Each structure stands twice: as structure tokens, then as C-alpha cells.
Amino acid sequence: MIKRLTTALALLAFSGMAAAAGPALQGDIQIQPTNWHAIIMFMIFVTMTMGITYWAAGRTKSTADFYTAGGGITGFQNGLAIAGDYMSAATLLGLTAMTFSRGYDAYIYMMAFFAGWPIILFLMAERLRNLGRFTFSDITSYRLDPSVRTMAALSSLVVVVFYLIAQMVGAGQLIKLLFGLEYNVAIFAVGILMMVYVTVGGMVATTWVQIIKACLLLFGGTLTLILGFSQFGFSLTTLLEKATAVHKLGASLMAPGSLLSDPVTALSLGLGLMFGTAGLPHILMRFFTVGNAKEARKSVLYASGFVGFFFNVIFLLGLVAILLVGQNPEYFEGGDIKGALIGGGNMVAMHLAHAVGGNMLLGFLAAVAFATILAVVSGLALAGASAIAHDIYARVIRKGECTDKEEIKVSRMATIFLGIVAIILGIAFEKMNIAFMVGLAFGVAAAANFPVLILSMYWKGLTTRGALWGGYSGVTSAVLFVVFSKSVWVDVLHNAAPLFPYTQPALFAMPIAFLCAYVFSVTDSSARATREREAFEDQYVRAQTGFGASGASH
């Protein structure tokens, strides 16, 4: 029933999008006569992924299928899918743009994004897999009261929503440039396609969308780099020499710049990105899609390999773009290379693709970027839906007394709800820099999810009271620091000066969360706390050996 309904919805959305694209395209066709490449390639991607979604729908029967693809994904596939989840539109568009305008600072950002992976592997991957089932809240509430689950689910939702905003804004800007569509129409298209993938195909479809997209992204990015880099004889020295010569930063292009000018911001950013990765619900969820700890470890190995490789590609793309896009009046409003880029600052990668590979490559890379956004928002929506349906509805409200059918139904409704929220917020935050927004999402993940998760796995003394205080103080302080910082308080709410002087919350919010969790745990002398401390033993043995962990269902 639901399946048929959502398939109908898919067709409706699809034809509606094509119809909406029609007239806008005719209007724009003199300026961008080659948009058809992108549109055709994107349509191929959508058709293909819709086919996969249809196939996946037949394989999605239980909640395990819906949330974790039945645990039947291999380490290599999952590694690609994690890389697909992690290399978002903000990575491709935002970080290329940041390299283009700020040079080396972007590379520092990339290292901070990357360095979380080894830490996740060494300290978390196998315990996550051995203890969790569908969501990371399964782990935090393993031996604690269900109220801890509610808290973890709520903080997951905060992270998901922050991250969704960044993705939606990227989508709107990209499609505006590419299809000549209104920003708002583009946001609706992404939101609706995402709802179809997730509601119909669950984790199986979402995983395969991620895998396909990760391959396309790696291929498209590398190809663009090879074409661009060849113009400099593949010599990094030549490239650096020329880029430094023309860039407005001059010799300091390759030195740390204004972005991390003070120690507090640098440290806070490092903490936020590193431990934020370890607190992203849609990334943590991917650890439950593999059969055992062995495959979970392999997932990280492959994922970090792909991510590390791609970051280096992106940095070089940004440097190449300084010369091939930054020096070409064709890509600037009114042909003035000191003015604004056509389509906004985040379009550097797209212009570069056009510069080195013509309309064909622009079309391909644009289609890939659109696919990227779709894949990432799908992963996010699924993580958000599992927090609502599995944690809050099935476990807390129904106390585990609900059938698979009911839970999946609620998941689907939650996905549609999240889609609508994403559309509304995407429109509200149109003017923000998307890489920066992702940085904020990470800060909240680092302060809200990571402290409670790591303590619940490592510290015997953690009690329900401590976990609740730690979690809620983490979410609240991270959100407040962000709201009172310049990026929201001044730029969005138009106040004169920020109440909180730094842009990165992690350095302040993380210690608050850890401290609250510690103080309220050790002072907890209730009978429940004693039981919870005793229950750590069994959890510890299971975490170490994987004995009793939920295995692959097929």
C-alpha cells in the first residue's frame, strides 16, 4: 500500500520536476545552451537509482532491512558508502571554493575532517558494531534508562537538521545555476526525491545510491583534476608558482591565514571536526549495516582511503581553479575578474569542470554534485527517521511492544516529515556559506553525541543521571554557542555584535558535556545507578568479544 503510494509519488515528483524545468530552460537557453548534458546525465542517474530503489523495496521487509540493510553489506561496499556519506556537496563545492579563495586554510580544514577516521577506528568501530543494532542510541542506552535514548535521539535530530540545511542550500544553489530553476523549486525537487529513496527503498536503496554516487564523484573529480593539472605538466611546483603569483593573497596563499588566526578557533575547529565525525548519526549508523566487527574495521580502512585521496584531489582542484577559473572573465559577473563569480562563490568546481572539459564535463560533474546531495540527504533522512521511529516511537513510547510493520510505517512518516522540514529550512538559510554550516553541524555532534557515546562505552561509572546531564548540557551549550556566535546572531538575526566571540563551539561545549556527565554520575548514589554500574561488566565483555552482537540476518 505505502509502497504503491510512494511509487506514485515518485512518478509525480519526477514528471513535476521535468515540467518545471521545461519553461525555465527555454528562458535560459541562450545563456547556457548546453544545460541538456547535465539534465540528461542527471536523469540517467535518477532513473538508475529509482530502479535500484524499486528493487530494494522488494528486499525491505523487516526493520533490520529498513535501517541497516539486514547487516548484509560488505566492508568494501560500506567503505564506499561511508565515503559517499562523508563526501557531501559541501566537500566538493565548499572546499574547492574555500581553496580558491583562502588557499591553505582549506587544506587544514580537510585534515581536521580526515583525522577523525583513524580515531573512530582505534577507539570506537568494533565497540559500535558489537553493541549497536540500528542507532547509536542503542549503545548509549544499553544499560541505562530509556530516557537516555530519548536524549540521544533528540541530539541526533539536532545534528541531522543542521547538516540537512547545509546540503539543501548547496542543492538549491547548484540547481539554480545548472537548470536555470528557481532556488525554491530546486529545494522542493531534492526534498521530494529524497523522500522517495528513503521511504521506498530504506537502507538498501540508500546504501546503493551512496556507492554509485561515491564512484561517480571519485571518477568525476579525478578526471577534472587530470585534465586541469595536465595544463601545468602535472608539476605541483609549477602549479603552486603560478597560483601564488596571481592570487590576491600572494605569497601567503600557502600559509595558514585569517580563518584560523587565533589559537582558540584553531583548536576548537580541530576538536569539533575530529570528534564531530565520531558523533554524526548517519555515519555511526553505517557501522550497523555490516555483519561483524571485522567488516566494520575494513569499512573504516576503505572509507578513510577514499576520503583522504579525494581531499587531496579537491585541494589541487582549488589551486588549478585559481588559474583556470579565477583568471577567466567568462566566469565572472559582467566579465570582471575582481567581481563575483557567476552562480555564487560555491560554483568554483563547476566552472573549473567547464574550463577543462567543456559542457560535457560540466554536465557530468554537475549531475554528480546533484546526485551527491541527494545521496547525503537520503542518508541523513534515514538517520533522522530511525531516531524518531526506532528510538522515540518504538523503544520509548511503545516500550518495544510494537510490530516491525508499525515501526517501518512510522519511519516512513518520519522521513516525509524530515523532508518537509529540510525544504523549509533550506529556503530559510539560502544565503549561508555551506562549508561553514557543516562545520557547525560537526560542532554540535562533537559536543552532544560524542561525549555520552564514548563514556557509555568506556566508563563504568556512567549512570543515567550523568548521561542525561552530559547529553542535554552538550546539545544546549553547543546550540547556544552557535546561535550567539557571529554566523547566526549577526549574519542571520542582524544584531550588531555577537554575544559569543568564537565561531566554533566544540572547545567550550565538549568540556561542559564531559564535566556534567562526570559530576552527575559520581554523585549519583541511587539504587538504579548501582545496578547500572554493575551491568557494565556484561556490556564490556560483549563490546570486547562481539559475543551476543546482532549478526547479519541474511
Partner 1 sequence: MSSVIYERLRRNPKFDELVQKRGSFARTLAAIVLIIFYGFFMLIAFNPKMLGQPIAEGSMWAIGYTAEMVMFVFFWLLTLLYVRRANGEFDDLTAEIIKEAQKETK
User: Shortest Cβ distance from residue 416 to partner 1 (Å)?
Assistant: 38
User: Shortest Cβ distance from residue 112 to partner 1 (Å)?
Assistant: 8
Residues in the chain: 554
How many of the other CB atoms lie within 10 Å of CB of 487? 18
Residue 394 binds partner 1, judged by CB under 8 A: no
CB-CB contact of 97 with 325 (8 Å)? no
Which x/- pattern over 253-282 shows residues binding partner 1 (rule: CB under 8 A)? -xxxx--xxxx--xx--x---x--------
Which residues are CB-contacts of 264 (< 8 A; sequence separation ≥ 6)?
Answer: 502, 507
- Among 313, 289, 331, 2, which residue's Cα sits nearest to residue 177? 331
Candidates 300, 347, 418, 509; binder of partner 1 (CB under 8 A) is 300
Closer CB to partner 1, residue 65 or residue 126? 126
H and E: helices and strands count for the chain: 24, 0
Which x/- pattern over 104-133 shows residues binding partner 1 (rule: CB under 8 A)? x--xx--xx-xx-xxx-xxx--x-------
Closer CB to partner 1, residue 112 or residue 171? 112
Closer CB to partner 1, residue 65 or residue 105? 105
Candidates 45, 136, 311, 518; binder of partner 1 (CB under 8 A) is 311
Q: Among all chains, which residue has been given the C-alpha cell 524530515?
A: 418
Closer CB to partner 1, residue 130 or residue 449? 130
Candidates 530, 544, 553, 554; binder of partner 1 (CB under 8 A) is 544
* Alpha helical stretches, state H, 392-433: 404-428
User: Shortest Cβ distance from residue 515 to partner 1 (Å)?
Assistant: 20
Backbone dihedral angles phi then psi of residue 37, each to the nearest 5 degrees: -55, -50
User: Shortest Cβ distance from residue 256 to partner 1 (Å)?
Assistant: 4
Residue 531 binds partner 1, judged by CB under 8 A: no
Closer CB to partner 1, residue 36 or residue 547? 547
Between CA 234 and CA 424 the distance in angstroms is 45
Candidates 293, 394, 446, 452; binder of partner 1 (CB under 8 A) is 293
User: Which grid cell is 429?
Assistant: 538559510
Residue 552 binds partner 1, judged by CB under 8 A: no
Residue 515 binds partner 1, judged by CB under 8 A: no
According to CB under 8 A, which residues from 331 to 350 bind partner 1?
A: none
User: Shortest Cβ distance from residue 244 to partner 1 (Å)?
Assistant: 7
- Residue 262, classified by CB atoms within 10 Å of its CB into exposed (0-12), middle (13-18) or buried (19+), is exposed
Between CA 163 and CA 90 the distance in angstroms is 10
CB-CB contact of 129 with 422 (8 Å)? no
Between CA 333 and CA 278 the distance in angstroms is 41
Which residues are CB-contacts of 406 (< 8 A; sequence separation ≥ 6)?
Answer: 394, 398
Between CA 433 and CA 479 the distance in angstroms is 18
User: Shortest Cβ distance from residue 537 to partner 1 (Å)?
Assistant: 7
According to CB under 8 A, which residues from 197 to 236 bind partner 1?
A: 236
Residues contributing to the site for partner 1 (CB under 8 A): 104, 107-108, 111-112, 114-115, 117-119, 121-123, 126, 236-237, 240-241, 244, 251-252, 254-257, 260-263, 266-267, 270, 274, 293-294, 297-298, 300-301, 304-305, 308, 311-312, 537-538, 541-542, 544-548
